[in-house]
């Protein structure tokens, strides 16, 4: 008879520069899209808690916003979540994009002071040159202590299973923190607002996506259909017109795409109503940043 494995559990923080592939990696591990991903940097604003469970393991992932130097209140709140991950995590996954030409010194400085095992996850190996990737990994190892190096492609899923086994072997025995069927501790309405926000990133350009946030005003779940009303909050008046578009064309398209992705996520029909509200310079005002759910 096969020997039973001891149940292990722990918290793992995924830390890296914006656009290194943190959210893609977590979505791949969980086999479900719980973290929004776009080709634009700084899409993730909240600390997304993703829960991986199998028979003898539970790993709670803290997917943090990319490490940046904060310029306004919203970014300060984002950096607080990085700090929280530093204190909560048992293991740090330092996710690194070897195709990124800019130095990773900010991240190295942040992680260096933490006395916890650090796994260097060299991502985007489907696009990177192996030799170059190894060279950039070595440069990081020269600057800080690394437990082990993993070359993965979060998009393709290569190297992820080996990474997970290595993480598991570093965890201590312990019971699960959450019910095994849970994928996250966030409520459904949180993911609804994130999926709407993702569509704003996909459909609008320049400053617009970074100036918006989404507030779910009401969520009525019925047997056949969920009715959702949400406000898109913009930073200044001129942005409202851009979001609505000519004769409401832009917001209509946004609503269609967002509704489809929400229906796919909850597996049910959705009625979605969107409104655009102006909150002048909300990103710079601590009260508004807190009211809209950041930095709690």
- Looking at 114, 137, 170, the residue that finishes a domain is 170
Please work out, in degrees rounded to the nearest 5, the angle formed at the alpha carbon of residue 145 by the alpha carbons of 98 and 27.
50
Q: Classify residue 143: in a domain, yes or no.
A: yes
Please give the tally of structural domains in the chain: 2
Annotated binding site: 16-23, 63-67, 123-126
Asked whether the predicted pLDDT for residue 127 surpasses 90, the reply is no
Exposure on the CB side of residue 165, measured as CA atoms within 13 A: 5
Range of the domain at 105: 8-170
- For the chain, give the mean pLDDT: 77
Q: Comparing 285 with 177, which gets the higher pLDDT? A: 177
Same domain, 48 and 137: yes
User: For the domain that residue 131 is a member of, what is the CATH number?
Assistant: 3.40.50.300
Same domain, 30 and 123: yes
Asked whether the predicted pLDDT for residue 174 surpasses 70, the reply is yes
Q: Comparing 201 with 173, which gets the higher pLDDT? A: 173
Structure tokens at 277: 């509200």
Torsion of CA 120, 127, 35, 251, to 10 degrees: 150
Q: Comparing 205 with 69, which gets the higher pLDDT? A: 205
Give the span between the Cα atoms of 130 and 140, in whole angstroms.
16
Same domain, 149 and 280: no
Q: Classify residue 132: in a domain, yes or no.
A: yes
Beta bridge partners of 121: 95, 150
User: For the domain that residue 246 is a member of, what is the CATH number?
Assistant: 3.30.300.20
Q: Classify residue 92: in a domain, yes or no.
A: yes
The mean pLDDT value for 16-39 works out to: 66
Structure tokens at 65: 């916003």
Same domain, 164 and 194: no
Residue 76 pLDDT grade (very low, low, confident, very high; cuts 50, 70, 90)? low
Same domain, 74 and 115: yes
Same domain, 157 and 233: no
- Looking at 170, 196, 211, the residue that finishes a domain is 170
Q: Comparing 79 with 66, which gets the higher pLDDT? A: 79
- Looking at 116, 135, 170, the residue that finishes a domain is 170
Same domain, 74 and 31: yes
Q: Classify residue 283: in a domain, yes or no.
A: yes
Model confidence pLDDT, tens digit, residues 213-244: 888 888 887 888 888 898 888 877 878 888 88
Q: How far is CA 115 from CA 61, 67, 120, 221, in A?
A: 18, 19, 15, 45
Same domain, 193 and 161: no
Q: Classify residue 3: in a domain, yes or no.
A: no
Same domain, 227 and 98: no
Same domain, 45 and 148: yes
Model confidence pLDDT, tens digit, residues 129-162: 999 999 999 999 999 999 999 999 988 889 988 9
Q: What is the pLDDT of residue 118?
A: 92
% of residues, the chain, pLDDT over 90: 19
Q: What is the pLDDT of residue 287?
A: 54
Range picked from 9-18, 35-44, 55-64, 153-162 for highest mean pLDDT = 153-162
Q: Comparing 76 with 90, which gets the higher pLDDT? A: 90
The mean pLDDT value for 32-50 works out to: 45
Which stretches does DSSP call E strand in the chain?
8-16, 48-54, 57-63, 91-96, 118-122, 148-151, 213-221, 225-234, 269-278
Q: Classify residue 98: in a domain, yes or no.
A: yes
The mean pLDDT value for 253-282 works out to: 83
Model confidence pLDDT, tens digit, residues 86-125: 678 899 899 899 988 776 777 787 777 677 899 999 999 9
Model confidence pLDDT, tens digit, residues 186-196: 566 777 888 88
Same domain, 196 and 116: no
Model confidence pLDDT, tens digit, residues 160-172: 889 999 999 999 9
Q: What is the pLDDT of residue 63?
A: 60
Residue 1 pLDDT grade (very low, low, confident, very high; cuts 50, 70, 90)? very low
Same domain, 164 and 196: no
Q: Classify residue 160: in a domain, yes or no.
A: yes
Q: Comparing 152 with 200, which gets the higher pLDDT? A: 152
Asked whether the predicted pLDDT for residue 71 surpasses 60, the reply is no
Contact 240, 282 (CB under 8 A): no
Place of tokens 């437990």: 147
Q: Classify residue 178: in a domain, yes or no.
A: no
Annotated binding site for GTP: 16-23, 63-67, 123-126
């Amino acid at each position: 008879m096969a020997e039973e494995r001891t149940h292990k559990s722990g918290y793992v923080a995924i830390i890296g520069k914006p656009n290194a592939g943190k959210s893609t990696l977590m979505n791949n591990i969980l086999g479900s899209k719980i973290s929004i991903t776009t080709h634009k940097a700084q899409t993730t604003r909240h600390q997304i808690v993703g829960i991986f469970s199998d028979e003898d393991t539970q790993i709670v992932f803290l997917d943090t916003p990319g490490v940046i130097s904060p310029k306004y209140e919203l970014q300060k709140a984002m950096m607080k979540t990085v700090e929280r991950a530093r204190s909560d995590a048992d293991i740090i996954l330092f996710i690194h994009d070897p195709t990124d030409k800019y130095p990773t010194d900010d991240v190295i400085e942040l992680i260096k002071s933490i006395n916890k095992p650090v796994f260097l996850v060299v991502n985007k190996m489907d696009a990177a040159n192996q030799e170059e990737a190894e060279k950039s990994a070595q440069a990081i190892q020269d600057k800080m202590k690394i437990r082990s190096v993993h070359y993965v492609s979060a998009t393709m899923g290569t190297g992820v299973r080996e990474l997970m086994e290595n993480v598991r072997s570093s965890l201590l025995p312990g019971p699960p923190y959450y019910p095994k069927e849970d994928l996250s501790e966030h409520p459904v309405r949180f993911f609804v607002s994130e999926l709407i926000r993702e569509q704003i990133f996909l459909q609008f350009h320049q400053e617009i996506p970074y100036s918006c946030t989404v507030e779910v005003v009401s969520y009525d779940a019925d047997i056949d259909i969920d009715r959702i009303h949400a406000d898109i909050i913009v930073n200044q008046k001129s942005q409202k017109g851009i979001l609505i578009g000519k004769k409401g064309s832009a917001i209509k398209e946004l609503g269609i795409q967002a509704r489809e992705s929400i229906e796919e996520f909850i597996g049910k029909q959705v009625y979605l109503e969107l409104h655009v509200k102006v909150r002048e310079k909300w990103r710079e005002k601590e009260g508004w940043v807190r009211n809209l759910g950041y930095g709690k």
